Amino acid sequence: MSNIGSYEERYKNFDWKISEQELEYGKDGQYNIGYYCSDRICEKGLGSKPALIWEGFTGEVKKYTYDDIRAYSNTTAKFLQDQGVKPGDRVCLFMDKIPELYICFLGILKMGGIAQPLFSAFGEEALITRLDDAKTKAILTTRKHAGKVRRIRKDLPELATIIIVDADDKPLNPGEVSFGMEKLPRVEKFDIVKVERETPSVLHYTSGTTGKPKGAQHVHNSLVAQYITSKWVLDLKADDIYWCTADPGWVTGTSYGIIGPWANGVTQVVLDAGFSAQNWYAFIERMKVTMWYSAPTAIRMLMKEGFDAVKKHDLSSLRHLASVGEPLNAEAVIWSEKAFGKPFYDTFWQTETGAMMICNYPGMKVKPGSMGKPFPGIIASVVNPKTFEPVDKPGTVGLIAFRPGWPSMMRAYWNNKETYDGKFKNGWYLSGDRSSIDADGYYWFVGRDDDVINTAGHLVGPFEIESALLEHPAVA
Residue 217 has pLDDT above 90, yes or no: yes
Give the pLDDT confidence of 347-387 residue by residue, as tens digits. 999 999 999 999 999 999 999 999 999 999 999 999 999 99
Give the pLDDT confidence of 198-214 residue by residue, as tens digits. 999 999 999 755 568 99
pLDDT of residue 460: 38
State the pTM of this model: 0.93
- Diameter of the chain by CA atoms? 69
In order of start, what are the domains of the chain with their CATH numbers?
Answer: 7-376 (3.40.50.12780)
Give the pLDDT confidence of 137-148 residue by residue, as tens digits. 999 999 999 999
Residue 420 has pLDDT above 80, yes or no: yes
pLDDT of residue 36: 99
pLDDT of residue 210: 55
